[in-house]
Structure 1
C-alpha cells in the first residue's frame, strides 16, 4: 500500500509531493551523512527552489544536520525575507523557527559577530537570533536582569522560548530595556493572554519611550501611553493568546516598551516585538495546532494530495520508502 501511494505521489510531478518525500527520506536518514548529501543533490536539481518555502525549509534542515551552517543560514534568511513584517506571513516563519529550535549549535553559529546582549538579559543563541532578526524580545529575558521576577515565570508550551511571565493577580510593572529596532515607523506588538479579572478597579497601561540616539537623557525621550480600562480588558478575557498591537507607530530607532498591570488581573505575557498586523487584536493559534505533522504547515495542500498522505499505520512501515525514493 505504501509503495502504491508513493508511486502516485511521484506520478503527480508536483513540487509539494516531492517535498514531502524528501522530508520522509530525511527523517529516515538523519544520522547518515552520505544519504543526507544524496538528498541535497536531488533537491538542488529542482529548478526555482526559492519559490517553494517548504522545500527551502527541508533543505535548511538537511544543511543543519550536516553542520553546513552557512548554507542553512542562507536558506533561513530566504524564509525570513518571504515572511517578515505582516502577521499572516510572520506566523509561517514562526512555524519554521519552532521546528528548528532544538539545534542549539546552529543558533550559536548565527551569532557570528559575538554580539553581547547580556545588558538586555539575552544570554542564549536562540533568543539572540529572535531579537536580531525578527525583533522579538521574550519577556523571560527580564528574569536574567531581575531575579525577583523568577517567581512569576512559568512554562509556556505556546512560547518559542518555552517561558512566560504571569501577573498572578498582582500589580506588575515591567520595563523592557531600550531596544534597537534598526528601522523606524513600525508598530509595537505584545503577545498576551488575559485569563480573568477579579476586580473592576483595574487597567493595563502600555508605555513607549523612544529616541533616534544611542546616547540619550531621559528628559529627551518621546513618551507615549495607551491604557486599557476595565471594559477594554474585559473584551480580552478568554480569547487565549493574542497579539495586541498598540494604536500608534514608532518613528524612532530605539524603543523602550513597558507594561503596567494594575488591579487583580490574571494574565500572561510572552513577548514584545515590532511589526504590523492587519488588526489591533490578532489571535495566535497554538503551536501544536500549527505543526502536528510536516505537511500541515503548508496552507495550499491540494485536496487530491491530502487523500494520498499516509495513515499512522502506514507511517510505521516507512522503511519501505528507501527503495522508492532512490528513483526520485
Structure 2
C-alpha cells in the first residue's frame, strides 16, 4: 500500500507540472481506485472528461467506480455514456463494455446469455489473433458462466486463458466451482498424492474445494504450489502460512530461519525454464543466498546478496531460473521470504512483477493496457535526478498502472 501512496505523489507532481496530461490523471485515478479512495477517483475522472469529453475509458472507470460504491444508478448512467462513445473497431473497448454489462446485469440470466452471444461473435472475428484480447474475452465468459453456474463451460473457457494473473481472479473465489474441479480430477488422485497435492494420510479429511484448486492448476497449467510439500514432509508445516495476496492463499515462508525445499518429480515441457513465484521481504545477512539445485546432476544456480538485494521489497514476482531439471531443490539462507509456486514456461523475462490481486476489486486483469500513449513518466520534465532514482524503485507498480 505504501508503494501505491508513493505512486500517487509522483503522479500528483506530474499533474501539477502538466495539468492537461490526461495520462497522468488516468494513472492516479486507477491508483486511487486500488487503495479504495473512490471519491478521488471520480474527481480525477471528471477532470479527464472535462479535458477530453469523448474519453470512453474515463466513463468506463467512472461506471466501475460507482458500481464498486454500490451506486448502481450512476453506474448505469456512466455505462450508457461509455457505450455511446464506444469505437466499434476497438476490441478492448468492447471488452470493457461487456465487462460492465455483465456487472450491471448479474441477476438476469437472459441478459447474461445475450452478452455471451455478443462475445462469441467477437471471438469469431478475433480468432485468437491477439492473445491478450482473447484472454480477456475468455475471462469475461468465465465470469458469466460462473454466475450462471455452468461450471463445465467455465472450465473450458478458463483452459483457454494463458495468463495466470487472469486465472487468479477465479481460483480464490467460488468454492462450488472448485468442488466441481475436484470431481473432474479425482480420477488422478493417485498421481496427485505422489506429489503432495492430496495428503497421503487417508485419515485426514480432504478439503474438496481446496484440493480441487490445486489439482486444476497443476493438471491444466503446470503450476505446483509449494505449500503442498507439507503433505509430503510434516516438518515443513511450521513454515506454511496464509497470504491473501497470493494466488492460492497459502505459501511457504522462510521466516527467520534457513530453509531447504526438495520438490517432487513434477511434469515439465521440453526446453522450458523453471519459474518461481516468490516475495523477498527482508535480507537478514550479507551472507544470504537463494540456491536452486539440480538434484540429478548436483549443479546449482545461486542468487547471492547482490542479486537478492535487487528483489528485496518488490513484492510478489515470478523469477526465471536458468536451470532445467526434473528434480529441483531450493535452499534459502538468511532471507525472510515467501514462495508460492513453481511452474514451467518458455521465453519469459527474468523478473515479472505480479500485482497484488487483493487490491484489484472489479478492475480487469492487466487493466493498464487499456490506456495507450502513456507519457514517459521518468523524464526530467517531471522529476529531478534524485527523484527519478526513487521512482525507479516503483517501476514495477508504475508500469502496471
- CA-atom RMSD in angstroms: 2.9
Other-structure match for 1:297:
366
Which residue of 169, 172, 175 maps to 2:262?
A: 175
- SS of aligned partner of 1:248: coil
Measured in 1, the distance between the counterparts of 2:306 and 2:213 equals 38
- For residues 24-78 of structure 1, give each alpha carbon's deviation from its aligned partner in whole angstroms, at most 9, with x where no partner exists: 3322343443433333334334442544432322122212222323332332222
1:273 and 2:343 matched: yes
Contact 2:245 2:357 in 1 (8 A): yes
- CA separation of 1:24/1:284 partners in 2, compared to 1, >3 Å: closer, same or farther? closer
Cα distance in 2, alignment partners of residues 257 and 32 from structure 1: 49
Equivalent residue number for residue 231 of structure 2: 144
Kept in 1, the 8 Å contact 2:165–2:354? The answer is no
Aligned positions, number: 274
Q: Secondary structure at 1:79's aligned position in 2?
A: coil
Superposed CA deviations along residues 167-216 of structure 1, whole A, max 9, x for unmatched, are 122121111111122x221111222222223333443221123xxxxxxx
Deviations 1:87-143 (A, max 9, x none): xxxxxx222212212123334444524211122221411111111222111111112
Look up the match of 1:245. Answer: 320
1:226 and 2:313 equivalent?
no
> Distance in 1 between the 2:371 and 2:321 partners?
37
- Residue 98 of structure 1, aligned match among 150, 160, 168: 168
In the alignment, structure 1 residue 55 sits paired with structure 2 residue 129: no
More helix by share: 2
Hey, what's the Cα distance between the residues in 1 that align with 2:314 and 2:367? Answer: 25
What is the TM-score when the length of structure 1 is the normalising length?
Answer: 0.72
Q: Is the 8 A contact 2:225 2:342 kept in 1?
A: yes
2:102 and 2:115 in contact (8 A); partners too: yes
C-alpha distance in structure 1 between counterparts of 2:85 and 2:286, whole Å: 63
1:115 is aligned to 2:192: no
For 1:16-95, list aligned pairs within 5 A: 16-46=92-122, 47-48=124-125, 50-51=127-128, 52-53=133-134, 54-80=136-162, 93-95=163-165
Shift of 1:161: 0.7
Structure ranking higher on relative contact order (CA contacts 8 Å, 6+ apart)? 1
Measure the CA separation in 2 of the matches of 1:234 and 1:38. Answer: 51
The SS at the match of 1:179 is coil
Structure (1 or 2) with the greater strand fraction: 1
C-alpha separation between the residues in 2 aligned to 1:42 and 1:208?
Answer: 49
What CA distance in whole angstroms lies between the structure 2 residues aligned with 1:77 and 1:137?
A: 16
Q: Distance in 2 between matches of 1:281 and 1:43?
A: 33
2:9 aligned with 1:9: no
SS in structure 1 at match of 2:338: strand
8 Å Cα contact 2:161/2:167 also seen in 1? no
Structure 2 vs 1, CA of residues 60 and 282 (structure 1 numbering), >3 Å: closer, same or farther? closer
Residue 274 of structure 1 aligns to a residue whose secondary structure is strand
Q: 2:253 aligns with which of 166, 169, 182?
A: 166
Q: Cα gap change, 1:109/1:167 in structure 2, threshold over 3 Å: closer, same or farther?
A: same
Q: Distance in 2 between matches of 1:29 and 1:70?
A: 22
Question: Counterparts of 1:11 and 1:280 in 2: how far apart (Å)?
Answer: 40
Change (3 A) 1:63 1:248: same
- Alpha-carbon separation, structure 2, partners of 1:125 and 1:208: 29
> Mind listing any 5+ residue stretches in structure 2 that lack a counterpart?
1-73, 199-210, 374-401
- Larger mean CA deviation between 71-80 and 8-17 belongs to 8-17
Tell me, what secondary structure is at the counterpart of 1:58? helix
CA contact (8 A) 1:104 1:126 kept: no
Matched, 1:236 2:297: no
Is the Cα–Cα contact under 8 Å of residues 191 and 242 in structure 1 kept in the other structure? yes
Name 1:200's counterpart in structure 2. Answer: 286
TM-score by length of 2: 0.60
2:259 matches 1:259:
no
Unaligned runs of 5+ in 1: 81-92, 210-220, 305-328
